[in-house]
Structure 1
Amino acid sequence: MRLARRAAGLAGAVAAAALSVALVPSAAHAHSLDSSTISLHVSDTEADATVTIAMATLDQALGTDYSSEVDVSSYSDEVVAYLGDHLELTGADGTVWTETFTSLTRESVEGIDSVSVDVVFDTGGASTSGLEIEYDAVIEAIPDHDAVVVLTDAAGQISTPGVLTSSDPTLTVAGDTGSGATPVGLLDMVEYGFQHVLEGADHLMFLTALLLTAPVVVVAGRWRRRTDVAPTLRDLATVVTAFTVGHSATLIAASLGWVQAPTTVVEVLVAVSVGVAAVHAVRPLVPRGEALIAAGFGLVHGLAFAGILTDLGLEGSRSVPPLLAFNLGVELAQLTATAALFPSLYALARTRFYPGVRLVGGCLALVAATGWALERVGLLGNPFRGVEAALVAHPWYVVLGLAVVALTGWALDARQPVRNREAQPGPADLASST
């Protein structure tokens, strides 16, 4: 009973720490993306664009709560009018081009709830070469925000002419990549992939749920603590590699147009993947099945990543270098998250408290997955959106909080003799579990 109370107490501390981070008042308005995107498409005499902004960021800039409203028509006109006041294209002759906006659309890509608005510019038949774009939506309210301009010219070449900031909200854009625009920066794409993973709550939750099982092993259908670090690291590397192979395959295939899947279906399956990993963390679904789960659902996560590149216009055979750079950023972010979380989880696994920690972690992941799934099939708004945004905005708080819990567990474990410790697997058990 004492063991159960202590395990439950430490598990409760984990939950309390997570909620305390999530419910910091200032974090309720945190945004999930530091950058908006303006995908600009030009021919010799025509121009149009798609402006994409994270929903939470837009709410923060406008002081609204549109992200909680399911019906986009209730605020579409206001958002379109706002963008119209803060976006302007001017021809080389100094003529400001008239704008025609379409209605706002809303979607979730890799767990980031965003709005997109298409706009067509009336050039009057003038050349698009040397056009100037001026944009300060969101930036005027959040000075450290920026907007990345992605240009697709008449020949289909993709480039990144620059980034609009509070100090420089205007940019002269050539009509073709041979007139001064620069090709997509590979380092920029690495950073973009890195950023999107660390801001994708569902991707991070899936990875975390898999990490919960790395320090333990299945024996007779139940989780048991490992006795040696070598097999733990080997299996951890196997899981990470399996996930890498899975999502890299579909990311590349989807970006090159070889496979397609509806965005809603992909996003629902991403939520399902978190739920399956969460259940597996609570009670093993298949012995040593983490690599199988990672590889299988990695295919789904790769399709979600490909949706990000599609929104940027980075699709087709010409985009192979930038999509590989983006994928490298994804891998670096995945390794960063693993390196930040796994040491604390492994330290906790060496104490009597880890069964409770694993149980709470799995249950929290399952609750989050359920919220995402219900939201993405349109049944209800995600009630945990504020918590999700806060945790994504303050990831190091989570890492440090878990480290504190691990140190506390070690201290408590050292002060009292171990009784009824979770049985450790013997050689025969380990052999049978493989």
Structure 2
Amino acid sequence: MSFLNLKYKSGFGNEFRSEDPRCPGSLPELQNNPQVCPYKLYSEQLSGSAFTAPRETNKRTWFYRIRPSVLHQPFRPYERSNVRSDWNNVAQTPNQLRWKPFPIPMSDKNVDFVDGLNTICGGGDSSSRNGMAVHVYTANDSMKNRCFHNSDGDFLLVPQLGTLYIRTEFGKMTVSPNEICVIQQGMKFSVDITEPSRGYVLEVFDGHFILPNLGPIGANGLANPRHFLTPVAYYEDKDHIKFEVINKYCGNLFVAQMEHNPFDVVAWYGNYVPYKYDLSKFMVINTVSYDHADPSIFTVLTCPSTKPGVAIADFVIFPPRWSVATDTFRPPYYHRNCMSEFMGLIHGSYEAKEEGFRAGGASLHSMMTPHGPDNDCFIKATQDKLEPTRVADGTMAFMFESSLQLRLTDWALNFGRLDEDYYKCWSGLQKHFDGQK
């Protein structure tokens, strides 16, 4: 299975263009919507912003495809789904929460990406275009003759186990653990796998993900734009087949039938695209003096709110790095936050919770709920010799951080993966105060 990952860039800003090599000249030379397209294709625009959005935030792509997207039967509710937005009807808790690794489906039942998608928590409302949700997926089968698209917002996919072979209208992407991909609102995609797979999904309803501003860091650091890759156009011309289109709309899933493969885009042009990023390319900025920098220095992507400096959602990673500091407590400090913090672990062991927090699991520290290193981590950190030290080798932990209060779903609370003893990791913390300096 050959999946290409090449980036094409032209013109001003982030304008991309690509055509399937089998059809050279399929991109029109001048107008986006010519009277007759090359190869007798249909032109179709996918808009990711309002038509009148400012130029710097205006998002759209032109497709040149074999058939227009409108060719499908009416949508009906999709019943086999644990995707939820009814968190307002669930009794909530401010407790620190941790989930054991989410189980892979048993081999006697075929579960693909869509049927293995489960909502853990969320806040806001997609119909008002404000908010976010967190999902996990577990799958043991590919999506056969079906695709998915999200009318509610953007998906940021974080594979933890198993490589994802993703077909999109723009072309194909291979996304392995320690990589991420973003499939934006309205883009059709299908997920193939060759092994049991598990991962995390951050969904935002408001705007799109962007790179954070660098401020005093300067021109270089964090995620570099040149390391983000977009697909090469690749079309499939298949007629007279039964194909399902699954749509997430107003928090629920719907399904419609069509009689052709929708991945039939021969060429495309625009600035509204899916993309992937290799987390190992992140340029870490860290302290070399005293104290512990805030985790915002590890932000890969952000979805801003209307308040300056406040995010609907940040995607933050804690990658392998050097730690150099003087007379300071190195691990994450004890903390209460006006943001909600959902953490996952792709591989390795997280420095502040080396026991109990496992790859494929998760934790949630809700708004203003205290959290921080466990007892063993505290003792070790106060006794370690302060010298240049490698941190998190062989590990990649991440955080979805949000300014919203995240409400849990019934599935998250009652699926049976909650670690009921999580709070005990702090129970050994002792009083050391004796009145002496």
TM range (shorter): under 0.3
The answer to which structure has the higher helix fraction is 1
